[in-house]
Amino acid sequence: MSQNAKDHMPDPARGTRDRAEAGQSARRRVLGDQLRAYYDSVTSEPVPDTLTELMAALARKSAAAQQPGDETEDTAEDGASGRDGNDDRA
């Protein structure tokens, strides 16, 4: 076979690589579809009332902590927060 004929033959490694990339692409697409379906099912569920109440309480506490001069529930009389790890709370 002449060199000119060999130059125009497809590279067998390239064909294998193209098929492998196509397979990976298909697997990624299937996985992405499955993840989207799972995400949609989770986000369509109602939010429990206890979580809603907890989030509201955290928002109130955060807003109160951002206002200067206001003391929060965790603040002791001497101004220490009690979060140094040496308190007796369990």
Domain coordinates in residue numbering, the chain: 11-66
In order along its 90 residues, the chain shows pLDDT tens digits of 556 655 565 555 666 778 888 888 999 999 999 999 999 999 999 989 999 999 999 999 999 988 766 555 554 444 444 454 545 544
CA distance 21 to 16: 9
Closest CA to 61 of 47, 74, 48, 79: 74
